[in-house]
């Protein structure tokens, strides 16, 4: 019996049926439409989705093709029927519409959940759990919104040993030092900046829109981290609201991102150093360099400097009215290069490779988990890149690219 047939026999048909119903709705299909395309009676589709009837292996293959899902996704996603799906949790929080909802967004949510599930499954396979160093939930009562955000950001910076300077690899920091699962997704809806969800079996999970600029992605990551720190019982989909009133929880999350990424004392001190170096003639070039150093947008940096009274109020508005375009200006300023943000956590990738090497995953399953479904060549190239640099031992990353025991100074030097 092949692995998928064996898995089909083991799983709870009710859980699988619920997963198939979610996948069907994500494709925008009714039960009748799906039945017609599959050449089945509508009552058969109903029976499968309610768990009354277990689908045959060939039927599951056809369902997967119709719903644009892999068999691995359908079978693995049904392994823990006791937990509500991300889509269910988001809908309960009012972030998604009715049953028909937004099909594209529903599919992105499914992908987000699938990656988080795979991450957890890999950890269980290899007995290498992600350490969770969660702080207690922060309270926000008794202070203004901005005061609460600043206090929480300052406490987290102290807890994580960040001082008051720019943060380097924010993704690695929040994974290794906090224990969050963070993925960058090719989100189909441009207005969706990110998503946060917490579930007891998976812990804190964050997705950012990989199609957004780097500065926007880092801001989104900090924004979603705020929701994790303040209210883990409610998931959140961060939708960019141009010209619309922003709810208080979202304003608090953005205020946290501002203080967390650009702490006032440290930023003010660094700006003052620049001001002295140029005899007070600070130009957009210096601000572009400062924004690049903090890895935030030019607009965010300008607004923060105005707020800190390092620049006159309205400076950024005046530059915009004069036609200043930060992206064009960057081409005329020397900026240091930085490593691109990861789409998948490297620890997750290495766990997948380790599971494959121990014959716990097939090559096809490895390709799916690394984001190359059906592309064995790209999968092998990525595996070679990972194994050249790092390995996983007892859940931790170990670099083999350099001999760490090689002396730097030899006797007699």
Q: What is the CATH number of the domain that holds 8?
A: 1.10.260.40
Domain boundary among 66, 82, 98: 82
Over the stretch 110-162, which tens digit does the pLDDT of each residue have?
Answer: 899 989 989 988 888 888 888 999 999 999 888 899 999 999 999 999 999 99
CATH of the domain at 197: 1.10.10
User: Could you tell me if residue 116 is inside a domain?
Assistant: no
| Alpha-carbon gap, residue 221 to 204, rounded angstroms | 12
d(CA 205, CA 183): 8
Torsion of CA 163, 165, 168, 173, to 10 degrees: 20
The CA distances from residue 299 to 68, 292, 337, in Å, are 40, 12, 20
> Distance (Å, rounded) from C-alpha 207 to C-alpha 105?
13
Is residue 171 a part of any domain in this protein? yes
Same domain, 222 and 290: no
Cα distances from 253 to residues 198, 218, 242, 277, in angstroms, run 16, 13, 16, 34
Neighbouring residues of 246: CB distance < 8 A, sequence distance ≥ 6: 254
Residue with tokens 């005899």, as numbered in its chain: 279
Cα(161)–Cα(182) distance, integer angstroms: 21
Q: Which residues of the chain, if any, have pLDDT below 70?
A: 1-7, 10, 70, 72-73, 76-82, 92-101, 242-244, 334-340, 389-413
Residue 112 falls within a domain, yes or no? no
| CA gap 296, 214 in Å, rounded | 8
**113 within a domain of the structure (yes/no):** no
Its domain, for residue 304, covers: 264-332
Q: Which long-range contacts (CB under 8 A, 24 or more apart) does 33-40 make?
A: 34/66, 37/66, 38/62, 38/63, 38/66
Whether residue 203 is found in the same domain as residue 269: no
Residue 364: inside a domain: yes
Q: Does residue 373 lie in a domain region?
A: yes
pTM of the predicted model as reported, rounded to 2 decimal places: 0.75
Q: How far is 204 from 206, CA to CA, in rounded Å?
A: 7
Which of 261, 288, 306 is the C-terminal boundary of a domain? 261
Same domain membership, residue 321 and residue 377: no
Nearest CA to 184 out of 176, 175, 194, 174 is that of: 194
Co-location of 209 and 274 in the same domain = no
236 vs 384: CA distance, rounded Å: 37
Do 165 and 249 fall into the same domain?
yes
Cβ–Cβ under 8 Å, residues 175 and 181: yes
Burial of 77 (0-12, 13-18, 19+ CB in 10 A): buried
Residue 240 confidence (pLDDT)? 84
Q: Which of 63, 82, 101 is the last residue of a domain?
A: 82
| Contact predicate 231/269, CB 8 Å | no
- The answer to whether the CB of 71 falls within 8 A of the CB of 4 is yes
Q: Are residues 175 and 279 in the same domain?
A: no
H/E run at residue 184: strand 181-185
Establish if 69 belongs to a structural domain. yes
- Could you tell me which residues come within 8 angstroms of residue 316 by beta carbon, excluding any fewer than 6 positions away? 299, 302, 303, 306
Residues 184 and 284 in one domain: no
- Judge if 269 and 363 occupy the same domain: no
92 in a structural domain: no
Tokens encoding 215 = 């500065």
Domain count, the chain: 4
What pLDDT was estimated at residue 100? Answer: 44
Structure-token pair, residue 67: 């719903």
């Amino acid at each position: 019996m092949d692995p998928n047939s064996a898995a089909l026999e083991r799983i709870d048909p009710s859980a699988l049926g619920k997963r198939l119903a979610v996948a069907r709705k994500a494709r925008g299909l009714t039960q009748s439409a799906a039945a017609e395309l599959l050449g089945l009676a509508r009552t058969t589709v109903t029976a499968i989705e309610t768990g009354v009837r277990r689908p045959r292996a060939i039927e599951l293959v056809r369902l997967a093709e119709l719903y644009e899902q892999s068999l691995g996704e359908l079978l693995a996603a049904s392994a823990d029927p006791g937990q509500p799906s991300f889509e269910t949790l988001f809908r309960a929080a009012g972030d998604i519409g009715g049953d028909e909802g937004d099909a594209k967004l529903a599919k992105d949510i499914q992908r987000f959940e699938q990656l988080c599930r795979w991450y957890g499954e890999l950890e269980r396979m290899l007995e290498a759990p992600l350490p969770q160093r969660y702080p207690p939930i922060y309270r926000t009562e008794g202070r203004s919104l901005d005061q609460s955000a600043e206090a929480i950001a300052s406490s987290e910076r102290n807890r994580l040993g960040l001082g008051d300077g720019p943060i380097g690899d924010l993704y690695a920091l929040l994974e290794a030092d906090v224990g969050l699962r963070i993925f960058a997704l090719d989100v189909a809806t441009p207005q969706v900046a990110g998503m946060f969800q917490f579930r007891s079996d998976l812990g804190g999970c964050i997705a950012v829109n990989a199609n957004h600029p780097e500065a926007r992605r880092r801001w989104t990551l900090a924004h979603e981290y705020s929701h994790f720190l303040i209210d883990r019982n409610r998931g959140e989909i961060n939708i960019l609201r141009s010209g619309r009133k922003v709810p208080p929880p979202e304003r608090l999350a953005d205020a946290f991102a501002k203080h967390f990424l650009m702490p006032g004392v440290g930023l003010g001190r660094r700006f003052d150093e620049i001001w002295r170096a140029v005899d007070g003639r600070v130009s957009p070039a210096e601000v572009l360099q400062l924004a690049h150093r903090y890895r935030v947008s030019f607009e965010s940096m300008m607004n923060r400097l105005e707020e800190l009274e390092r620049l006159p109020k309205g400076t950024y508005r005046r530059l915009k009215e004069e036609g200043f375009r930060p992206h064009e200006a960057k081409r005329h300023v020397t900026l240091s290069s930085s490593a691109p943000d990861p789409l998948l956590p490297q620890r997750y990738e290495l766990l997948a490779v380790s599971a494959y090497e121990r014959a716990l995953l097939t090559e096809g399953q490895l390709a799916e988990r690394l984001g190359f479904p059906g592309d064995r060549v790209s999968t092998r190239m990525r595996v070679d890149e990972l194994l050249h640099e790092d390995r996983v031992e007892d859940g931790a990353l170990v670099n083999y690219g350099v001999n760490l025991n090689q002396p730097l100074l030899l006797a007699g030097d």
